[in-house]
Amino acid sequence: MSQLLENIKLLLFDVDGVLTDNQIFISSDSTELKSFCIDDGTGAAIARFADLPLAFLSGRYSKSTEIWAKELGVSCCIQGVIDKKNKLPEICKKFNVELSEIAYVGDALIDIPVFEKVGVSIAVPNSHIMVKEKADMITDSYGGRGVLTELVEKTLKSQNRYEDILKRMKNEKF
């Protein structure tokens, strides 16, 4: 597993079902509520400190996702795109990375075409069965339960940078 993430320079995430538990609550006044894992804020902070960029690529638009991305400091939050693979050249250009340097986390059938293009394809345990079959790896965390933090940690550990980053963070004045 660690070898898979060794050369990754960008972590790209689907949102619903990966960063959320795949539930959306819509009230009678059309207010939408989603639940995100607060621990992923820690993972995003570690990623920023390590200069490991994060990006979101979602098939569905949601103001909640936009707010969460901003709170995490995620500068690339592409939403409302069903044919996600067509956004990959734009993402590569924005982050100056090759497709082989991207790890993508998805859970639904629309994520499979992206899996076939990127360097590492990752599914969550609650993914569609066909998605899990196509994935290079499956996270320990379920969607909405710290997937982002898990992958930041695993990526930095595979690159032998995790302990150093934590030490530097401890000594840094914020």
Kindly state the percentage of the chain with pLDDT values over 70: 98
Least trusted range by pLDDT, from 26-30, 127-131, 152-156, 170-174: 170-174
Residue 173 has pLDDT above 80, yes or no: no
The region of weakest confidence among 9-18, 38-47, 56-65, 165-174 is 165-174
C-alpha–C-alpha distance, residues 16 and 174, integer Å: 32
Q: How far apart are CA 52 and CA 86, in angstroms?
A: 23
Helix axes 39-49, 147-158, angle to 10 degrees: 30
Q: Which residue is associated with the tokens 């986390």?
A: 105
Residues sharing a CB contact under 8 Å with residue 24, sequence separation 6 or more, in sequence order = 16, 32, 33, 34, 62
Q: For residue 170, what pLDDT band results from cuts at 50, 70 and 90?
A: confident
CA distance 7 to 120: 10
CA distance 148 to 27: 28
3-40 pLDDT, tens per residue?
899 999 999 999 999 999 998 899 999 988 999 999 99
Residue among 18, 46, 55, 19 at smallest CA distance from 156: 46
Q: Average per-residue pLDDT in the chain?
A: 95
131 φ/ψ angles, rounded to the nearest 5 degrees: -70, -45
Domain spans of the chain, in order of start:
2-169
For the chain, what is the radius of gyration of the CA atoms?
A: 15
Reported as half-sphere exposure (CB side, CA atoms, 13 A), residue 95 has a value of: 26
Q: What is the mean pLDDT of residues 82-106?
A: 98
pTM for this one? 0.95
Amino acid 2: pLDDT: 62
pLDDT of residue 172: 77
CATH 3.40.50.150 corresponds to the domain 2-169: no
Percent with pLDDT over 90 in the chain: 89
